[in-house]
């Protein structure tokens, strides 16, 4: 059974077979309702962009040729092929390591108005600050899902900055139930990866001590 919850009288967050599916453009309420550790799926229009797209917008001051305000940006370099209809289709689209964009992400989120960032691995304080200030989240797509992600792609609706090359270009893509996406930084600035690092560091010394004791007992036998 499908249960639909309307947001702000116009946008919907759908619970479909126990999956939380958000549609673009996201409302601020939608995004602020998310917390680290939540698992979501998204439907609608997203864009891909990684190092060179961030550099053009932030360092070179170029205006984005597409409007991604309130939408999602995926740190990815998709593999794309031409179709007989003179269009393009996605073959595979796996996330790029998000930390590569960390130093530029605050300014990019500020300029682009993007609400949701998708990538691989964690991000740091620049991104967390932007999420707090502008009401955005960062999500990870589990590794090994490049083909699955391609199957979630309904259509490539456009491409800009193709002079950068296929992986670095700004691709506009329509997706359906893209996920699972795990929220790693929420609008409060809470950072799941950093919390896990602290927890692991706290347990590290205890584990080393326990291992040393076991080796000592074996050597003394």
Instruction: Please list the active-site residues.
Output: 54
Which residue stretches of 70-168 are H helix? 102-112, 125-134, 146-151
**Residue 51 parent element (H or E):** helix 51-54
Measured at the CA of 126, the angle between CA 123 and CA 57, to 5 degrees, comes to 100
Structural tokens at position 15: 């619970």
Quickly tell me which residue has 């998204």 as its tokens: 42
DSSP state of 86: S
């Amino acid at each position: 059974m499908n249960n639909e919850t309307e947001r702000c009288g116009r946008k919907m967050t759908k619970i479909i077979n126990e999956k939380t599916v958000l549609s673009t453009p996201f409302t601020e309420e939608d995004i602020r309702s998310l917390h680290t550790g939540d698992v979501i799926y998204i439907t609608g229009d997203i864009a891909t962009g990684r190092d060179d797209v961030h550099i053009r917008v932030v360092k070179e001051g170029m205006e984005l040729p597409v409007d991604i305000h309130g939408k999602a940006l995926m740190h990815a370099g998709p593999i794309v092929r031409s179709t007989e209809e003179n269009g393009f289709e996605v073959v595979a689209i796996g996330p790029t390591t998000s930390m590569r964009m960390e130093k530029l992400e605050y300014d990019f989120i500020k300029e682009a108005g993007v609400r949701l960032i998708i990538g691989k691995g964690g991000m740091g304080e620049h991104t967390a600050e932007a999420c707090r200030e502008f009401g955005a989240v960062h999500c990870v797509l589990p590794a090994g899902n490049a083909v699955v992600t391609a199957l979630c792609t309904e259509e490539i609706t456009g491409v800009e900055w193709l002079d950068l090359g296929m992986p670095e270009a700004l691709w506009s893509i329509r997706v359906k139930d893209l996920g699972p996406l795990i929220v790693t930084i929420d609008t409060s600035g809470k950072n799941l990866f950093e919390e896990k690092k602290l927890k692991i560091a706290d347990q590290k010394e205890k584990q080393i001590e326990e291992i040393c004791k076991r080796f000592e007992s074996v050597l003394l036998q």
